[in-house]
Amino acid sequence: MKDLARECGFELAGVARALPLADEIERYDAWVAAGFAGEMRYLTDRRAQVRHDPRNLLPEARSVICVGKLYNQPVPKAEADDAVISRYAWGRDYHDVLRQGLEELARKLEAVEPHRWKVCVDAAPLLERAYARQAGLGWIGRNTCLINEPQGSWFFLGALLTSLALEADGPPPDRCGTCTRCIEACPTQAFVRAGEEWTLDARRCIAYLNIELRGVIPEEHRESMGTNIFGCDICQEVCPWNSRAPETTDPAFSPKFETTPKLDTLAYLTEAEFRARFHDTPVTRPKYEGFLRNIGVAMGANGGGRFREPLEHLSRHSNPLVAEHARWALERMDECADVSQS
């Protein structure tokens, strides 16, 4: 199976039993109860209970084949007036890429032995990281990412539920040790104590604020978001296990942008231009208005006076969400100017 998975483009592959993971269920339910999921209702509604058992998705499931696909790639260093986009979003939308690979794997296995199967990529209610850990792909680090010892954490995770009874792998040891670089580097202090462990309060996470949150970004976090307009890689960039992480050779993840986009240029994109420029990438997830909201916050966090004209343009936008965040940025710009002159 692992050889077939590599043929299908996956660098990591392993097997976990398709059974509930009691400790992980307890941890997940406690995380939800604490409100750490924020407004991501797909994590807290009836689907939260579905996540307790893979057989809720495929009653015949006996094994969970977990895979990891590398997406790490060099991206241009962002300058002061550049928009920062998480490196996973520079290429093609990973949902399609992983689904195609997992469907190919399912068919290859079917040629060996007929089986019932179901592909799960991100959107399916499955505790993917937990099963990936059980399948030996890596441990779950303090930054809540799955970390593979030789290859780091720049991986997309996917799963194939199957009726085949495959030999299960086992979880590797946790190798974060006493390192807390990710915790210390997070600008919004999104990692919080949960008993003896660290967990992610998504309500403070930059990637949640500029992707998942559909409404107003709390003012207390805006300045700390910097010029990140889509996602955030900081906790992975500082991780020692990523210091020698390999780079993907899959052309699907080749950068669609030649250079890091400029904030002031993005502020003037029409909705049609936005869709055309970011077509088939994850950047369209916050939708056009959410994207412009993020541009306004990024220019305000930067504080540079050169952004006054594009911010005034956004402050007149017909969408109240976009206009409000642009006005906040203008006010902050004025405050920075007053401080510099005093």
Q: What is the pTM of this model?
A: 0.95
Q: Per residue in 100-125, pLDDT tens?
A: 999 999 999 999 999 999 999 988 99
With a CB cutoff of 8 Å and minimum separation 6, the contacts of 151 are 11, 12, 70, 245, 246
Active site residue: 81, 122, 169, 233, which one? Answer: 122
Mark whether 122 is an active-site residue: yes
Give the distance between the most distant pair of CA atoms in the chain.
76
Query: Which candidate, 207, 193, 198, 201, places its Cα nearest to that of 176?
Result: 198
Q: What is the pLDDT of residue 259?
A: 75
Q: Are strands 117-120 and 84-85 parallel, antiparallel or unpaired?
A: unpaired
Summarize the confidence of residues 291-304 as an average pLDDT.
Answer: 93
According to DSSP H, which parts of the chain are helical? 2-7, 22-33, 47-50, 94-112, 128-134, 181-185, 206-207, 219-222, 234-237, 263-266, 271-277, 287-302, 308-315, 320-341
In the predicted structure, residue 342 carries a pLDDT above the cut 70:
no
In the predicted structure, residue 140 carries a pLDDT above the cut 90:
yes
Summarize the confidence of residues 77-99 as an average pLDDT.
Answer: 92
Domains of the chain by residue range: 1-256
CB atoms within 10 A of CB 118: 18
DSSP secondary-structure letter at 4? H
Q: Per residue in 8-41, pLDDT tens?
A: 999 999 999 999 999 999 999 999 999 999 999 9
Q: Per residue in 204-216, pLDDT tens?
A: 999 999 999 999 9
With a CB cutoff of 8 Å and minimum separation 6, the contacts of 140 are 129, 130, 133, 146, 147, 174
